[in-house]
Chains A and B, each alone.
Chain A
Amino acid sequence: MIGIILIIILTFFFPGIINRTKSILSGRKGPVILQPMYDIRLLLNKKSIFSNTSSIITQVGPTIYFASIVTSLLFLPFGSYSSVINFDNDFIYFIYILAFGKFFMVLTALDAGSSFQGMGASREVMYSMLIEPAILILIGALSMITGYTSFDEIFKFMDFTNNSYYLVTIICCYILVKFAMVENSRLPIDDPKTHLELTMVHEVMILDISGFDLALIHFANALKFTIFGSLIANCLFPPNSNILVLTLIFIVTQISFAVIIGFLESFNPRNKVVKNPQYLLTISAISLLAFVIALILTNKIT
């Protein structure tokens, strides 16, 4: 439970830290850290505007999307503390429940009958389809090294301090950062700051969503970041440490994750849209590398 509470608390600061980093790097002072949350509060109290074309799907879609992300929180362990629900291969459910949310998000995008939202929807499903093998292979590698198949046990028995696991941990963190960037439609796949419909992915899907629903989606996206941040933190936890150390490492990891994203977004240009599939497949290829390392570590390739 402590993990979930920390995740939710840190979510309030996460987008703010990214923004602050970006502003400082571009020579501006930048808004206060909590500014994105103030925006969300503002949205919560605004009038909703629905498209004439929209149907029941628009009414339930954002809610289901948000709920799917909240549900996926239950699977996240916190160091040696177990997750709320854990079973063998629980990460499959974790991935699929996120996909369920995405299914409704895409339907919501198509519901308005807009000329832009279908484009975003099409790109979003395609990118998450292409990134999915990367995470599956990565977990395969992790479960091969540790010999366990649930988030809980994998992270409990994954020992960062063990010399031979350095490489895998590094690749794992790298892929999780990239995965978080793609799932949240950040640079270099998509730039949430540019509002040119033709090049957007996620933002173009929510053009016709307003008020409470938009607040839900913004918060869900911030939550997604901290979920992946907590997975990264779990990779870095040293085994058998007490809760204070864990909390400290967790908070430091999340903040540095946000700062790293800020850095990446400041210095990375955006990909051409046609180049994106290639970029995503490269991530899968890197996770195959993790798998090969796992094969070597377990003495299958000698």
Chain B
Amino acid sequence: MFISGLIFKIVIILSLLTFFLKDKKLKAITLTSSILFTAITTFFCFNAFANSEAVSLKLDLLLWTWSGDSYIVIDKFNSIFIILYNVISLIGILYSFKYIENFDSVSTKIHYFALLWLQYSLFFIVVTDNFVNFLTAWEIMTITSFFLIIYDLKPQTIKVGINYLIQMHVCFFLLLFGFSLMLKYTGSYQISSLANADMFSNHAYLATISLLLLGFGFKAGFIPFHAWLPKAYTTAPSHISGIMSGVMVKMGIFGLLKVLLITQSNLLLLGSVIIIISIITGIYGILQATFQNDIKKLLAYSSIENIGIIGIGIGLFLIGKVYNNVYMQSIALTAVIIHIITHSLVKSFLFFITGNIYKTTHTKNINLMGGLIKKIPATSTMFITGMIALAGLPPLCGFFSKFLIFYTSYSNIFNDNFYKTIILLCVIIALGIISGLSVFAFTKASGIMLLGNKRSNVEYNSKMDNNIYAEVILLSIILIISLLPAVLFNFIFNIVCSVNNIFVEKIYYQNLQEIFIKINIITVIFAAIVTIIYLIRKRFINRNGFEKQATWGCGYTAINEKMQYTSTSMSDNLFDLAKPLIKKNVTNINFKDKEVFPKNKRLDYKTEDYADMFINKLIYFGELIIKKFAVTQTGKIQHYVLYAFIFLIIVFIISFL
């Protein structure tokens, strides 16, 4: 343990060095400390996987030890999270070397320092059980991610950053309040003491759990607490968006799981509420995504949708726990973990790819792009692959978790409880709608961005297709997982059962394993059919010959790229249905009636988010109230002395009461 403590110290000292170095040395030092940290934590994790007991370590390095011991616990469950975010952070750092241009500036140095500390803080969030340590690490995560978001230091970026910081602190205080309640009733600093429901009075227990769930839900981006998420993702550099959506949002889910795994009472209520909120989150998220024209915003809203799917899984787990159904519990939780893993990998992968696209086109507006597949074929192919995985279509890995959630829902639909049947029916319908809409959103995004002709006069440069090693690493991880669903399922399922002390008969999970193997077989058959037909097609086309001509224009020959379908026009079809949920602002129409020769006119469509509008309204009223107090700011010294005097008198009076 001495060596590991030493390595932790070295890693921290290395992270401080980022301030003094530049260019290649900066890259080298960042990469070294990240790799060192990943190596040591992964070593602990493999240790945990090998042992049946959880590994607890005492690290003398931890400074914040006043509130009790400084043990960290690494068990199989949090090892999954540790490995996941370490891999993604590491690849994110690798990717950033290509994305960031200026390695001399102070902001870059701060950026890398924050990036490293984000990675460290995530580890401590996952492993600590003491809530003071937990919140400290949580705060480090918030502040570092704030610095990461405001990298380019434009006024607009800083505004978004501060918005993010404030909303995250609302989340922080909710957590603090919840944990304080816990401390009051149990007298313990350990988060695991939440399991002693009998130490609370009934309402206090529900209040504590709800506060914690609200706090973690804020971080995870459940509706209506999601307003920070699309803004922050859109503004941050692409590798940061990738790390944030792949890792940081999942910390909210981790917190939810941590609390819910040990919650003892009110499970039916909590489960139902979580399922309802998740269904709303999923459908609203993907609906918003369908209408977005900004590719990063689209991906951000799709993150919200995926959080919804994860939430549905968590809710099913709780419902299963209420009815003592071990199969439902274990499979739903497995689905949750698999979804977390696949979504983290796929979403960060897509954000990295989007970074490439942004660097190529210098715009994030889908409507201006087109024809990228001819300019940057490697990036485009990877983008389509990622989109298929994200839409949850087989044979890629996004399908497995959706399949498992469907599996639990359908297998338990013929139970004898009416309430449960209705909930499962809602889950099935919601998942159906979500998958349908995600196919809509992602075909729109990939089709309009990559295919067709260029829709505007933006300049493309094809440099970004050159060194794509970071993306290729991530893609190969995704493909490996896609090819080995049975192994992944077996691994996660065993961990889930050991965490929950669930005993599941072997026949049952062998059945599921066989299903995954059969899915693999179908994938192979499918690939074989595609290959055979493709080869036959090639022969036919070679025999019959082919010719290239202009696109069919219904008799009109002067067809140009302005006549192509755009992102806005593609999603416009759906708008009639989605009207009650989506607000659309149309700006800048000022056609005058008597204009004989009309000049160029511009028409802007923008969809708005109700949560965002609510927060803006809140800020507006807050400003109004604060402005009332501006009267006191007279600038005369005697007035300020008077204020101090009044203050003293008030204190004096209060002390007598």
**A128: CB under 8 A from chain B?**
yes
One digit per residue, 1 when the CB lies within 8 angstroms of any chain A CB and 0 when it does not, for chain B 498-526 equals 00000000000001001100110110011
Q: Of A8-16, A18-26, A107-115, which binds chain B?
A: A107-115
**A48: CB under 8 A from chain B?**
yes
Which residue among A60, A123, A125 has the maximum number of chain B CB atoms within 10 Å of its CB?
A: A125
Chain A contacts for B541, CB-based, 8 A? 48, 211-212
User: B522 → chain A, closest Cβ, in Å?
Assistant: 6
Q: Of A87-95, A221-229, A231-239, A248-256, which binds chain B?
A: A87-95
Chain B contacts for A136, CB-based, 8 A? 428-429, 431-432
**B433: CB under 8 A from chain A?**
yes
**B2: CB under 8 A from chain A?**
no
Chain A contacts for B448, CB-based, 8 A? 110, 118
Which residue among B432, B550, B561 has the maximum number of chain A CB atoms within 10 Å of its CB?
A: B432
**Which B residues between 386 and 445 are near A, CB-CB below 8 angstroms?**
388, 391-395, 399, 402-403, 406-407, 410-411, 413-414, 416, 418, 421, 425, 428-429, 431-433, 435-437, 439-440, 442-444
**A49: CB under 8 A from chain B?**
yes
Chain B contacts for A291, CB-based, 8 A? 425
Q: Of A31-39, A98-106, A260-268, which binds chain B?
A: A98-106
User: A124 → chain B, closest Cβ, in Å?
Assistant: 9
Q: Report if A50-B546 is in contact (Cβ < 8 Å); known contacts: A126-B440, A130-B436, A143-B414.
A: yes
Q: Of A67-75, A171-179, A180-188, which binds chain B?
A: A67-75
Asked if B544 and A114 sit within 8 Å, CB to CB, the answer is no
Q: Of B23-31, B187-195, B528-536, B622-630, which binds chain A?
A: B528-536
Asked if A110 and B394 sit within 8 Å, CB to CB, the answer is no
Chain B contacts for A112, CB-based, 8 A? 452, 551-552
* A107 CB contact (under 8 Å) in B421, B446, B519, B559: B446
Question: Count of chain A residues with Cβ under 8 Å from any Cβ of B?
Answer: 79
Q: Of B174-182, B298-306, B565-573, which binds chain A?
A: B565-573
User: B603 → chain A, closest Cβ, in Å?
Assistant: 18
One digit per residue, 1 when the CB lies within 8 angstroms of any chain B CB and 0 when it does not, for chain A 141-158 equals 001100101000000000
With the chains together, A57 CA to B370 CA distance in Å?
14
Asked if A110 and B565 sit within 8 Å, CB to CB, the answer is yes
**Which A residues between 176 and 223 are near B, CB-CB below 8 angstroms?**
197, 207-208, 211-213, 216
User: B448 → chain A, closest Cβ, in Å?
Assistant: 7
* A49 CB contact (under 8 Å) in B421, B519, B549: B549
User: A40 → chain B, closest Cβ, in Å?
Assistant: 12
**B554: CB under 8 A from chain A?**
yes
With the chains together, A229 CA to B410 CA distance in Å?
24
Chain A contacts for B550, CB-based, 8 A? 51-52
One digit per residue, 1 when the CB lies within 8 angstroms of any chain B CB and 0 when it does not, for chain A 254-289 equals 000000000000000000001001000000000000
Asked if A96 and B549 sit within 8 Å, CB to CB, the answer is no
Asked if B373 and A57 sit within 8 Å, CB to CB, the answer is yes
**A116: CB under 8 A from chain B?**
yes
Asked if A85 and B522 sit within 8 Å, CB to CB, the answer is yes
Chain B contacts for A63, CB-based, 8 A? 530, 533-534, 537
User: B178 → chain A, closest Cβ, in Å?
Assistant: 37
**B583: CB under 8 A from chain A?**
no
Interface of A is mostly: helix
Asked if A274 and B564 sit within 8 Å, CB to CB, the answer is no
**A121: CB under 8 A from chain B?**
yes
**Which A residues between 39 and 72 are near B, CB-CB below 8 angstroms?**
44-53, 55-57, 60, 63-64, 66-68, 70-71
With the chains together, A274 CA to B526 CA distance in Å?
36
Asked if B403 and A93 sit within 8 Å, CB to CB, the answer is yes
With the chains together, A143 CA to B403 CA distance in Å?
16
**A301: CB under 8 A from chain B?**
yes
With the chains together, A125 CA to B374 CA distance in Å?
25
Q: Report if A197-B547 is in contact (Cβ < 8 Å); known contacts: A107-B447, A126-B440.
A: no
Asked if B413 and A144 sit within 8 Å, CB to CB, the answer is yes
Chain B contacts for A49, CB-based, 8 A? 546-549
Asked if B421 and A300 sit within 8 Å, CB to CB, the answer is yes
Asked if B570 and A113 sit within 8 Å, CB to CB, the answer is no
Asked if A143 and B410 sit within 8 Å, CB to CB, the answer is yes
Chain B contacts for A68, CB-based, 8 A? 526
* B436 CB contact (under 8 Å) in A123, A128, A274: A128
Give the nearest-CB partner of A112 in chain B. B551
Q: Report if A107-B384 is in contact (Cβ < 8 Å); known contacts: A74-B525, A125-B440.
A: yes
Chain B contacts for A208, CB-based, 8 A? 551-552
With the chains together, A137 CA to B577 CA distance in Å?
21
With the chains together, A149 CA to B327 CA distance in Å?
15
* A137 CB contact (under 8 Å) in B411, B428, B519, B561: B428
Asked if B403 and A119 sit within 8 Å, CB to CB, the answer is no
Which residue among B388, B452, B548 has the maximum number of chain A CB atoms within 10 Å of its CB?
A: B452
* B432 CB contact (under 8 Å) in A46, A103, A132, A212: A132
User: A93 → chain B, closest Cβ, in Å?
Assistant: 6
With the chains together, A92 CA to B563 CA distance in Å?
38
User: B402 → chain A, closest Cβ, in Å?
Assistant: 8
Asked if A103 and B443 sit within 8 Å, CB to CB, the answer is yes
Q: Report if A51-B418 is in contact (Cβ < 8 Å); known contacts: A96-B399, A99-B393.
A: no
Asked if A140 and B526 sit within 8 Å, CB to CB, the answer is no
**A161: CB under 8 A from chain B?**
no
User: B629 → chain A, closest Cβ, in Å?
Assistant: 52
User: B486 → chain A, closest Cβ, in Å?
Assistant: 12
**B326: CB under 8 A from chain A?**
no
**B453: CB under 8 A from chain A?**
yes
**B66: CB under 8 A from chain A?**
no
Q: Report if A103-B421 is in contact (Cβ < 8 Å); known contacts: A48-B546, A48-B547, A121-B447.
A: no
Chain B contacts for A99, CB-based, 8 A? 393, 435-436, 439
**B13: CB under 8 A from chain A?**
no
**A129: CB under 8 A from chain B?**
yes
Asked if B433 and A133 sit within 8 Å, CB to CB, the answer is yes
Asked if B429 and A56 sit within 8 Å, CB to CB, the answer is no
Asked if A117 and B565 sit within 8 Å, CB to CB, the answer is yes
Asked if A115 and B565 sit within 8 Å, CB to CB, the answer is yes
Asked if A102 and B439 sit within 8 Å, CB to CB, the answer is yes
Asked if A147 and B577 sit within 8 Å, CB to CB, the answer is no
Asked if A129 and B551 sit within 8 Å, CB to CB, the answer is no
Which residue among A109, A122, A137 has the maximum number of chain B CB atoms within 10 Å of its CB?
A: A122
Asked if A115 and B563 sit within 8 Å, CB to CB, the answer is yes
Pairs A-B, 7 closest by C-beta atoms: A118-B565, A129-B436, A110-B447, A113-B452, A115-B563, A48-B546, A67-B529
Q: A45-B544, A49-B547, A92-B407 are in contact. List 17 more A-B contacts (CB 8 A).
A: A48-B544, A57-B373, A89-B410, A89-B515, A96-B394, A106-B439, A107-B447, A110-B451, A115-B553, A122-B573, A132-B433, A132-B435, A136-B431, A136-B432, A216-B533, A295-B418, A300-B421
Name B residues whose Cβ lies closer than 8 Å to a Cβ of A.
Answer: 370-371, 373-374, 377, 381, 384, 388, 391-395, 399, 402-403, 406-407, 410-411, 413-414, 416, 418, 421, 425, 428-429, 431-433, 435-437, 439-440, 442-444, 446-448, 451-453, 511, 514-515, 518-519, 521-522, 525-526, 529-530, 533-534, 537, 540-541, 544-554, 559, 561, 563-566, 569-574, 576-577
Name A residues whose Cβ lies closer than 8 Å to a Cβ of B.
Answer: 44-53, 55-57, 60, 63-64, 66-68, 70-71, 74, 85, 87-89, 92-93, 96-97, 99-100, 102-103, 106-107, 109-119, 121-123, 125-126, 128-130, 132-133, 136-137, 139-140, 143-144, 147, 149, 197, 207-208, 211-213, 216, 274, 277, 291, 295, 298, 300-301
A-B contact pairs, 9 of them (CB 8 A): A56-B373, A93-B394, A93-B522, A96-B393, A118-B447, A122-B565, A130-B436, A133-B432, A207-B552
